[in-house]
Amino acid sequence: MLVVIGGEGADMEKDFDSKLKIQNNSSGVQRSKSFAFRAPQENFTVHDFELGKIYGVGSYSKVVRAKKKDTGIVYALKIMDKKFITKENKTAYVKLERIVLDQLDHPGIVRLFFTFQDTFSLYMALESCEGGELFDQVTRKGRLSEDEAQFYAAEVVDALEYIHGMGLIHRDIKPENLLLTAEGHIKIADFGSVKPMQGTRITVLPNAASDDKACTFVGTAAYVPPEVLNSSPATFGNDLWALGCTLYQMLSGTSPFKDASEWLIFQRIIARDIRFPAYFSEEARDLIDHLLDIDPSRRPGAGHDGYASLKQHPFFRGVDWMNLRSQTPPKFALEQRVHSNDSDDVQDSSWNPTHIGDGSAGQNDGNGGSASSSEAGHITRLASIDSFDSKWQQFLEPGESVLMISMVKKIQKLTNKKVQLILTNKPKLIYVNPSKLMVKGNIIWSDNPNDLSIQVTSPSHFKICTPKKVLSFEDAKQRALQWKKAIEALQNR
Ligand SMILES: Nc1ncnc2c1ncn2[C@@H]1O[C@H](COP(=O)(O)OP(=O)(O)OP(=O)(O)O)[C@@H](O)[C@H]1O
C-alpha cells in the first residue's frame, strides 16, 4: 500500500507510480494516454534488502549497496528524502531522471530496475557499479596512460553517441559520474541534470521536463563550457566540451581549468586558458583541443557528420568500435584499505538505516561546495552561475581577481539586507549593494587574526569580527566554513 503524503509530495507520489498520464512527444508519434514504466514501481520496503556500504552521497540522495534478500541480487539503491526534494524544488529533476533512465537501454549507461517508496523516501534500484568512480581510478593512479584513457574515452563516446542519438544532453559528464562495473567497463550515471532536446525520442512527462529558468543544476564548475556561462541554450556540444575536460583529467590527473575558486575557474574557461603538459601525445592534445573549441558546433561529434569525426580521430586509432565491451579493461588501482576486516556485505559503520527518511540525504547539499567535498578534490556542483557576472568586475582593480563571492544576507537588528560579499586576492573584503551596485562596506583587511577573524556559528551563518565591529552574515548556500577557510588561507599565505 502506498502512503499518500500531502502537497507536492502527493504529486511526487503519483508520478513515481507506474501508470502515468503522458503527453505526446514532440516527434509527433501517437502514444497511449497511460503508459507503464519498464522499471516498475514495486511494493517493496527497505527491509526487503540487506544494506551494505554507502557508495556515495549526492546533492539530494544517498546511494547504498543493497542485496535483495529473496533473490540475492545486488543493486545500488538510490535513496532520496521526499521532504528534502520538495523543499529544494528538485521534484522535476527526480521525475526526469526516473523517466529518462527508464527508457535508456545501452551497456554504457546505468540501468534502472525498479523503484519503490515509503512515507519518507523514494528508492531507485540501479545496476550496481562495483568498480566505483573513474575519478577514484585517476586519483589512485595519479594519471592514466594513453592506452587506458583511450579505452575509457571510447566507451564514454559510444554511450554519449547513444544518449545524443536519443535527443538528450547529459549536462554533467565528469569522472565522478563515470562509474565502472566490477570488470572495469564504463557506465554513465547521474541523469539528474539531463535535458531532453526538441524531437527527443524519450517520452517526457509534462511536469518532469526541465525548465532552464527554474534550473539550478547546470553542471559542475570545472567542466562547464563557456557558452553555458554566457547563458546560451544547451546543445550536444556541452557534453563534448565536458568529455574534453574529462579526457584531459584522465591523462593529467587534474581538470584543465582547475583553480582556487569557481570564479577563477570560470575566468579561465572564458579565456580558454588551457595548458597542455609536455607528455601529452600530439593525438591527445589535438583531440582535447578540438573538443574544447569555443564554438560548440565545431567540436568533433557535434558537426553534420555526427560522431564519425570523433570516432575516426587519430587518438582512437585501433579502437574496435563494434566490440568495445568484449575488450579487456585496464587494471584497477585498489583502494588503500584502512580497516582490514571490511566486507562489502557487512553493514558499514557509517551507514545507519535509521537515516532513511530523516532528511539526512540533504546534509551535503546547498553548500555550493562543502568544505569536505572541496578538500576531497571534488569540484563543486554549480548551484547557480549568477556569481560569474561581469558586473562585479567594476569593483576590481587591473590584475585583481575574486577568490570568493556569495550573495549573502547581512543580518542586522531590524532588517536583513542582501549583499554581495566579495573577497579578492589583493586582499580586499567588501560587500556591495547588488541592485545599486554600490560598495556598502569595506572590511579592513588584516593578516592578524586578532584584528580580523571569522566565527562560524552554523553551516550557513558566520560572523566577521574586527576590533571595531562584528558583522553577521547568512549564506543560504551554507558556505560559512568555506568563507572562514578562504579568509584564513589568505591570512596565512
Ligand atoms: N549505480 C551505482 N553504482 C555504484 N555507485 C553509484 C551508483 N550510482 C551512484 N553511485 C555513487 O553514489 C554517488 C552519489 O550518486 P548520485 O547519483 O546520487 O549523485 P551524484 O552524481 O554524486 O550527485 P549529484 O546529484 O550531486 O550530481 C555517486 O557519486 C557514485 O559514486
Query: Tens digit of pLDDT for each residue in 378-404?
Result: 333 343 344 456 677 788 887 777 778
Expressed in angstroms and rounded, the spacing between residue 208 Cα and the centre of ligand 1 is 20
Which residues fall within 8 angstroms of residue 391, CB to CB, at 6 or more apart?
A: 437
Expressed in angstroms and rounded, the spacing between residue 87 Cα and the centre of ligand 1 is 21
Output the pLDDT for position 290: 98
* Ligand 1 pocket mutation pick from 55, 59, 60, 127 by most atoms within 8 angstroms of CB: 55
Output the pLDDT for position 189: 97
Query: Quick check: bond before 233 cis, omega within 30?
Result: no
Output the pLDDT for position 66: 98
Instruction: Kindly report the protein residue whose alpha carbon is nearest to atom 20 of ligand 1.
Output: 58
* H or E element in which residue 20 lies: strand 19-21
Distance CA 177, CA 246 (A): 10
Q: What is the CATH number of domain 389-492?
A: 2.30.29.30
Expressed in angstroms and rounded, the spacing between residue 344 Cα and the centre of ligand 1 is 17
Output the pLDDT for position 109: 98
pLDDT digits (tens, 9 = 90+) for 201-217: 888 866 655 544 434 43
Query: 192 CB under 6 A from ligand 1?
Result: yes
Is 12-127 a domain of CATH 2.60.130.10? no
CA atoms within 13 A on the CB side of 227: 20
Paired residues of 461 in beta bridges = 474
C-alpha cell at 424: 579578492
Q: What is the CATH number of domain 134-326?
A: 1.10.510.10
Which among 418, 433, 423 has a CA at the least distance from the CA of 396? 423
Query: 114 CB under 6 A from ligand 1?
Result: no
Catalytic residue among 172, 190, 259, 365: 172
Expressed in angstroms and rounded, the spacing between residue 289 Cα and the centre of ligand 1 is 29
**pTM for this predicted structure:** 0.72
* Ligand 1 atom showing the smallest separation from residue 381 Cα: 26
* Ligand 1 atom showing the smallest separation from residue 172 Cα: 27
Q: What is the DSSP letter of 87?
A: H
Output the pLDDT for position 239: 98
* Ligand 1 atom showing the smallest separation from residue 217 Cα: 27
Instruction: Kindly report the protein residue whose alpha carbon is nearest to atom 27 of ligand 1.
Output: 58
Distance CA 131, CA 144 (A): 16
C-alpha cell at 56: 556515495
Segments of the chain scoring below 70 in pLDDT:
1-35, 205-218, 337-390
- 191 near 95, Cβ under 8 Å? no
Find the angle CA(365)-CA(124)-CA(119) to the nearest 5 degrees.
Answer: 75
What are the sequence ranges of the domains in the chain?
12-127, 134-326, 389-492
Which among 91, 148, 155, 154 has a CA at the least distance from the CA of 129? 155
Query: 193 CB under 6 A from ligand 1?
Result: no
Which residues fall within 8 angstroms of residue 241, CB to CB, at 6 or more apart?
A: 223, 225, 291, 292, 296, 299
Q: What is the DSSP string of 123-153?
A: EEEEEP-TTEEHHHHHHHHSS--HHHHHHHH
Note if 70 is an active site residue.
Answer: no
Which among 249, 210, 47, 124 has a CA at the least distance from the CA of 218? 210
